[in-house]
A and B are shown apart, each in its own frame.
Chain A
Amino acid sequence: MRLLRLAAEGLTVLTRNRIRALFMTIGTVLGIASLTAVMAMNDGARAQLEQHLNRFGADKIRVHAGGGRMHHGGERSSTLTLEDGKAVALQVAGVESVNALLFIPETDVRHEGSSSKAIVIGTSPEGLDSPMNELDSGRGFDRTEADEMARVCLVGPALQDKIFGGADPMGERLMVNQVAFTVIGILKPQGMGFGGMNIDERVVIPISTAMRRVFRVEYVSALEIASNDRERIEQQAEEIRKLLAERHHINAGEEEDFHVMTASGMAEFRLAAVNKLSLLVGSLALLCMLVGGAVMMNILLVSVGERTREIGLRRSVGASRNDIFVQFLTESVVVNLVGMVAGIVLGFGVALVLSTVLPEMPVVFSLKGAGMAVGFSVLVGLGFGTLPARRAARLSPVEALR
């Protein structure tokens, strides 16, 4: 109760000198703001990644043509084939299905007067079951259409806006690489990047049509392999890698012309990048708080000097050294807590603004970040408040009153 009174007294002093309090909080506000922003982006990136992985599927293994990680089209490799897919389906235990995919980015698409570049994706009818290919309206293509190499297509919502001016394209003609298609369905927006392209500007067609009629190629871009044994998925990925290396006549030590990915492998890779960035900005935030704490300490030290008489007076009316210490420490802790609240609001605000400007950088309010903010500000408040508080407490009352 008495302690509460002392704390309240420290608080009153602060509110009586708001400008000083403001300067004391600046470091904490900026430090906590950057910490909050970083954590919001970090958690946002994790949430997004999780969403991507769910879409990717924990039971899925993907083989991309071409070496290197996360290879999407880009420089095209022509060594992955439908036969590779068949071999995987036959020779790797626990493989439920293999769906071959062809990605051809930067393909000309046209409807009457308007034209654009789009990414064309060839898939089997089974591949339409993926959450990536969820339909907004219309229908997908079936096995018969695939076998007949039908010229039917599904369009992404962004492409619908671009080419058809947002009008209903159902049943309309769409020229894809100078081959006429009929639009039979519209895809749901996915809102994510795809090798630098907007995946909502895509055209999905049967892979048979794509290989024979539109692009006349013998290779595929990727194999999407469903496993019926999740526990063994990393082993299966390894078996697939070995099998394909053998089929492609790649010797040990040579660079492979394909890349095998699993959900967890992809997560590790992406999270490592996110964590590296977070660590960097996180240390900057910490530095900011330390500098801010030092500034606060100096303001407090000056204030102890300015308030010498006040301290002497308080001692004369019954404050002990401890009381003075508690009172001054309250000031620095409260300043830091207030700065922390302001910092959290500011930091999350900045993160929100950033995420509207850069949609591929989603943010989520991070509870872990808030916890760290509380911890850091209390630590800084106590750490940098102790010296001034001790100096105030050690003043001799007689000298202080002179």
Chain B
Amino acid sequence: MIRLKRIEKTFRNGGVDTPVLKGIDFSLDEGEFVALMGTSGTGKSTLMNILGCLDRATAGQYEFDGRDVVALDDVELSRLRNEKIGFVFQQFHLLPRSSALTNVMLPLVYASQYPADARERAEQLLAMVGLKDRMGYLPGQLSGGQQQRVAIARALINRPRLILADEPTGNLDRQSALDILDLFSDLHRQGHAVVIVTHDQEVAARARRVLHMVDGRFEREEVRP
């Protein structure tokens, strides 16, 4: 599904170059569950942003379903994000003045086809993440774990094949974190490809593939049978 070759990313700020990604090769197949680990500042989030088409690499090749991502323009990239990728962030990023249901439906605003069953879909997803009785709540009226579940439902509304989660449990207590991880395991079982950034060994233990990143490169890959 995804193939990265020799991806590099260098930030340029007022003449100062900060090389962050220094030649990443990475392939991801349909339905895979991958954990990305590494110490702080090694470039995990930077890589996730490139994978999610939110940012462009400085050099290298990126193919998504056989399409050359590097050649896509802003509108095409946006459409790709909208249709094929679901993001889950550490900080949830919900619209504070919108209900859980409205937040879940947000990506549909930008969809090229607005599904007739948008509302039912959103309700089903909220039920699936265990928030059947919280649909009308504002984010401020929900716990951190519940907010993250709303965010996961939002990531799923357009039925993307790839879920990118950057430390999704980083802001949660132990129990909530475990619940969220169970959700990701479920998604993997349902056939979504999942890439999850984590510092937690226990999280990584659920993944079949674990990539260890050091200083902008993959240093080692564990693959469990």
Expressed in whole angstroms, the minimum distance between the Cβ of B166 and any Cβ of chain A is 10
Contacting residues of chain B (102-118) with chain A, CB-CB under 8 angstroms: 106-107, 109-112, 114
- 0/1 interface trace, chain A 301-326, chain B, CB 8 Å (1 if under): 00000000110111111111111000
Known contacts being A5-B109, A5-B114, is A317 close to B79, with CB within 8 Å?
Answer: no
In the complex, A293→B74 CA distance in Å?
30
Is the Cβ of B95 less than 8 Å from the Cβ of A318? Answer: no
Is the Cβ of B93 less than 8 Å from the Cβ of A318? Answer: no
Interface residues on A, range: 20 to 34
Is the Cβ of B78 less than 8 Å from the Cβ of A6? Answer: no
Inside 8 A of A316's CB, which chain B residues have their CB?
A: 52, 54, 81, 87, 93
Is the Cβ of A321 less than 8 Å from the Cβ of B74? Answer: yes
Is the Cβ of A319 less than 8 Å from the Cβ of B93? Answer: no
Inside 8 A of B75's CB, which chain A residues have their CB?
A: 320, 322
Contacting residues of chain A (354-402) with chain B, CB-CB under 8 angstroms: 396-398, 401
Is the Cβ of A320 less than 8 Å from the Cβ of B109? Answer: no
Inside 8 A of A318's CB, which chain B residues have their CB?
A: 78-79, 81-83, 107, 110-111, 158
Q: Which of B54, B79, B98, B111 interacts with A315 by CB under 8 Å?
A: B54
Inside 8 A of B107's CB, which chain A residues have their CB?
A: 317-318
In the complex, A188→B55 CA distance in Å?
82
B49 within 8 A of A: yes
Is the Cβ of A317 less than 8 Å from the Cβ of B97? Answer: no
A9 within 8 A of B: yes
20 contacts between A and B (CB under 8 A): A2-B111, A2-B112, A5-B109, A5-B110, A6-B110, A16-B97, A314-B110, A316-B52, A316-B54, A316-B81, A317-B81, A317-B87, A317-B154, A318-B110, A319-B109, A322-B74, A323-B110, A396-B55, A397-B55, A401-B54
- Taking beta carbons and an 8 Å cutoff, which residues of A are in contact with B? 1-2, 5-6, 9, 16-17, 309-310, 312-323, 396-398, 401
A-B pairs with the 5 shortest C-beta distances? A318-B82, A320-B78, A318-B110, A317-B107, A16-B97
Given contacts A309-B93, A320-B74, A401-B93, 19 further A-B contacts (CB under 8 A): A2-B114, A6-B110, A9-B109, A16-B97, A310-B95, A314-B110, A315-B81, A316-B52, A317-B110, A318-B82, A318-B110, A318-B111, A319-B109, A320-B78, A320-B110, A321-B74, A323-B110, A396-B55, A398-B55
